[in-house]
Amino acid sequence: MTNQTVQARVSLALKQEADHIFARMGMTTSDAIRIFLQQAVNIGGLPFRPTAKQPNQATIEAMNELNSNKGEKYNSSNELFKNLDI
């Protein structure tokens, strides 16, 4: 079997974050890509369910607060910034 090279363009930040995660798991990014491709072949599709990035817990709580008509509301960003304690 002849090995082939797969190339993909990604941002430096994404590559570095992925490298760090995979290194903590004891593998390289190349190892992870090989696993991904093998799993895609094994199951006949993506080996995960694609999802959108989810808000963190603090953001969810803030959204829930506003949806329940609690918290402060402002008519403009200028009004908001005047009330911030910076």
Report pLDDT digits (tens) over 23-65. Answer: 999 999 999 999 999 999 999 999 999 998 889 999 999 889 8
- Across the range 4-26, mean pLDDT stands at 96
Look at residue 86 and tell me whether its pLDDT is greater than 70.
Answer: no
- Across the range 63-68, mean pLDDT stands at 89
Please classify residue 74 by burial: count the beta carbons closer than 10 Å to its beta carbon, then call 0-12 exposed, 13-18 middle and 19+ buried: exposed
Model's pTM, two decimal places?
A: 0.60
Segments making up each domain of the chain, as ranges: 12-43
Angstrom distance (rounded) from CA 59 to CA 81: 19
**Residue 44 C-beta-side C-alpha neighbours within 13 Å:** 0
